[in-house]
Amino acid sequence: MQIKSNSVDDVIGRVYLMAKNQHGCRFLQRKLTQCSQEDIDEIFFEIICHIVELITHPFGNYFVQKLLELCNEVQMTLILKVITRTTGELFRMSCDMHGTRAVQKLIETLKTPEQASFVLSSLEPYILSLMKNINGNHVAQRCFQYLSKYSKNLMDAVISHCIELAKDRQGCCVLQTCLKHSDGDQKKRLMTKISSYSLLLAKDPYGNYVVQFVLDLKDPRTTAAVLNQLKGNYEHLSMQKYSSNVVEKCLKFSGENNCVQIIEELMNSPRLRQILQDKYGNYVMQSALRESKMYRDLHVALVATIKRHDWALRNSPYGKKVLSRASFSEERPCPSCQFALRSRFRKSLLPVAFNVQDVAAFVFPVAFNIQDSLSVRTSQPSRKSRLYQHTPL
């Protein structure tokens, strides 16, 4: 379609067709920002009966997104009535690869609490399917980001199905967004349920990310509940692809007492050598070495325990990495220890610096005697020194 006019008046009556054309859609988006409210109203009423089609159109959805930014409260309400006229229409659009963008923009630009409640009630019967859909999950995340005040029923659905969602590729992302933007009693209930299933989720390809996210929140009660579930299982968790990431996260965020307990459980494991040589376990042990540096006695004991398996680790491609880090840690103390050593070293140098002349006089008495003898000679400067003296004219 050729766009020969730069005037909005010339496209009135052709907006619907232009919105479905790549160049026409771009033209309309540019002009919408320059239009008066009267022009926007005229364009709006021309396309409102086609809004459902345009929302899911490859080009039309971009035009609708721009129009949503400029709609007033009355126009937004009318759009909501049109797109929810058919049962399940909003859900269908949310799961469409083009429609999902427009629905997300719709949620971002809602004007009133009534409109927010209207959208949520329309999506509520399909919320579980929406969260697990490759396109729909983004709409669900927008609901928690922008409509968290009105999403109590959605939150209840999430809590009821949180384990199923946590083990789903899309659902685990929605759960993390939900945890990030929720608060109060519902958030506590959700975190409690996740922590009670943390051993199961830690081994899951997607559930492990949810457990890690919960640990990142650094809530003492939830962290303690997760660690209580994992206690006694760190041995085999460290040698699994997904759960090994959770163990590393536990070492980092569990706090001093819990970190010590985890490392001691690994050190005392009868399968320690296997963990050290494992393609996942070796990373856990490297993390243990890194985190134990803050606890000197524990770090020394861990390094010594690893060194006992020196001969086996040297012949293992993964064991070599742990052995190398253990050797490096043994040679290089932790930062706090380095500071203490530097301070002691500087203090030990102070008396040496002040007594260096006495030592030199004792070792080289001849030189000092020569200097004394020179000082009693005539003060007449030598020929060489006279050459560099300034002689007044």
In whole angstroms, give the CA distance from residue 103 to residue 136: 9
Given a cut of 70, whether residue 72 has pLDDT beyond it is yes
Q: Confirm if 294 and 258 have CB atoms less than 8 A apart.
A: no
- CA distances 69 to 23, 25, 262, Å, are 20, 15, 52
- In one-letter notation, the amino acid at residue 306 is I
Q: What is the mean pLDDT of residues 285-314?
A: 92
Q: What average pLDDT score do residues 59-77 get? A: 96
Contact of 237 with 244, CB cutoff 8 Å: yes
> Which alpha helices (H) appear in 48-98, and where do they start and end?
51-55, 60-70, 73-83, 89-94
Cα distance between residue 326 and residue 322, in whole Å: 6
Say what the pLDDT of residue 331 is: 52
Q: What is the pLDDT of residue 4?
A: 53
Residue labelled with tokens 């929810």: 84
Residue 154, number of CB atoms within 10 A of its CB: 23
Is 390 or 313 the better-scoring residue by pLDDT? Answer: 313
Provide φ and ψ at 147, rounded to 5°: -125, 30
**CA-wise closest residue to 81 among 41, 126, 114:** 114
Name residue 222's amino acid: T
Above 70 in pLDDT, residue 39? yes
**pLDDT tens digits for range 167-209:** 999 999 999 999 999 988 999 999 999 999 999 999 999 999 9
In this structure, whether the domain defined by 1-146 belongs to CATH 1.10.10.10 is answered with no
According to the model, what pLDDT value does residue 255 have? 85
Closest CA to 64 of 27, 23, 106, 17: 106
Q: Encode pLDDT of 87-120 as tens digits.
A: 999 999 999 999 999 999 999 999 999 999 999 9
- What pLDDT, on a 0 to 100 scale, did the predictor assign at position 10? 73
> What are the helix (H) ranges across 231-334?
234-237, 243-253, 256-267, 272-277, 281-291, 296-307, 310-313, 319-331
What pLDDT does 335 receive? 52
Q: In 161-280, which residue ranges form alpha helices assigned H by DSSP?
A: 162-166, 171-181, 184-196, 198-202, 207-216, 220-230, 234-237, 243-253, 256-267, 272-277
* Stated pTM of the model: 0.79
Q: For residue 288, what are the contacts with CB-CB under 8 A and spacing of at least 6?
A: 251, 262, 263, 266, 302
Rounded-to-integer distance, Cα 55 and Cα 90, Å: 10
What is the model's pLDDT at position 265? 96
Are 123 and 117 in contact by the 8 Å Cβ rule? The answer is: no
Residue corresponding to tokens 């963008």: 101
128, 1, 130: which is closest to 59 by C-alpha? Answer: 1
Q: Which of 235, 156, 164 is nearest to 204 (CA)?
A: 164
**pLDDT score recorded for residue 263:** 95
Model confidence over 139-161: pLDDT tens digits?
Answer: 999 999 999 989 889 999 999 99
**Amino acid 367: pLDDT:** 46
Q: 3-state DSSP call for residue 124? A: helix
pLDDT tens digits, residue range 217-242? 999 999 999 999 999 999 999 999 99
Share of the chain above pLDDT 90, in %: 71
Mean pLDDT throughout 246-266? 93
What average pLDDT does the chain have? 85
- Band (pLDDT 50/70/90 cuts) for residue 376 is very low
- Rounded to an integer, what is the distance from CA 6 to the centroid of its chain? 46
The answer on pLDDT for 77 being more than 90 is yes
Q: Kindly report, residue by residue over 331-370, the tens digit of the pLDDT.
A: 555 554 444 434 443 544 444 444 445 544 444 444 444 4
